[in-house]
Chain A
Amino acid sequence: MSTVDLPKEQDLVEYRVDRILEEANTDTRIVVLTRQDGALDTFPIWVGAAEGNAIKLALDTMITPRPMSHDLIKSFAEHLNITIQRVVIVDVKSSTYYAMVHVSNKGVDRTIDARPSDAISLALRAPCPIYITQDVLKRRSTTNLDAWLAKLESKDIGTPEVQET
């Protein structure tokens, strides 16, 4: 739980998970979020391989023989009648994003501090909407993206595929 001011409704923009990208030769995945209303914007978040896989399982609606960690969290919520209402990416500090999971039980609302990977993994399973605050959208971290694009440029750009339609 946190003591920070909760963002106001009008400051939230809804996103959805578009896809999970694998980064070659590294232990990281990129969760690509796009705007739910169709407006053009992609919001990439770098996560660990295990975290990325947990999101991928939910995105592909894969049923695993045994409950994975986020299935267990959902199961706890179901047993205790806790509703997972929404997850919000609320802050970014030194290229690290911070998320809040909003939950409710018999009118008692709580917000729980989470890594975006856990929040998104849970949102897809709940299911519940994923929001990013206007503030985070303005201050979004481009450090990883710049580094990633720089790597791409040295390797992949230079052999453009020409497609004629």
Chain B
Amino acid sequence: MISQMHVKGLMFDPYNNAYIVVLRDDENSDMLPIWVGKSEAGAISMSLENVTPPRPMTHDFMKSLLDAYNAKVISVVITDLSEHTYFSKIHLMYEDSEYTVDARPSDAIALALRSNAPVFANNSVITKQSSEELEQWLENLKPEDFGKLDS
């Protein structure tokens, strides 16, 4: 079983000096936080905020390559969580054939946002991601941690 997820936003995690991409399902009942690096967060944030950079960023280039040959991103699926690492697959359609490509979730999400492709998560991943960890982390947050993301 898979659920469609929506990218709700990005938060800064001052304790790990990293960023968290927050995915939520349609009913807003399940949440999937994915920790990513600064430049990966920047790539996602530009899409979320509809910023067009003067020069193509890495994922814009990635999309240009696919566009050049009419390959379409159909969907992105967060498939597994193993030892704090998320795994994902990008599903492509090219000349009537489907291709599945292994990717880090940060790349997959950055590309999905640029391609208007849906993001899904395996339900097993959502179950595995114990919400306890996040809740504990949220409790420790101070209001000033919710600043605007600088990327």
Contacts and interface: CB of A to CB of B under 8 A. Distances in A.
Interface of A: 1, 48-51, 54, 65-70, 72-73, 75-77, 79-80, 82, 96, 98, 101, 103, 105, 108, 110, 112-115, 118
A72 B107 contact: yes
Contacts of B102: 67, 75
Interface in B94-136: 94, 99, 101-104, 107
B55 interface: yes
A110 B102 CA distance: 25
B99 A110 contact: no
Contacts of B94: 79-80
SS class, residues of chain A in contact with chain B: mixed
B6 interface: no
B92 A113 contact: no
Contacts of B56: 113-115, 118
Given A69-B58, A69-B59, A75-B101, A82 B64 contact: no
Contacts of B149: none
A133 B56 CA distance: 21
A79 B92 contact: yes
A113 B55 CA distance: 9
Contacts of A110: 68-69
Interface in B42-71: 55-59, 61-62, 64-66, 68-69, 71
B39 A50 contact: yes
B113 to A, nearest CB: 14
Nearest to B38: A50
Contacts of A72: 62, 90, 101, 103-104, 107
B17 interface: no
A125 B7 CA distance: 31
Contacts of A67: 102-104, 107
B119 to A, nearest CB: 16
B55 A96 contact: yes
B26 to A, nearest CB: 27
Contacts of B55: 96, 98, 115
B29 interface: no
A103 B104 contact: no
A96 B59 CA distance: 19
A73 B104 contact: no
B58 A76 contact: no
Contacts of A65: 85
A57 to B, nearest CB: 13
Contact of A69 (B65, B71, B92, B107): B107
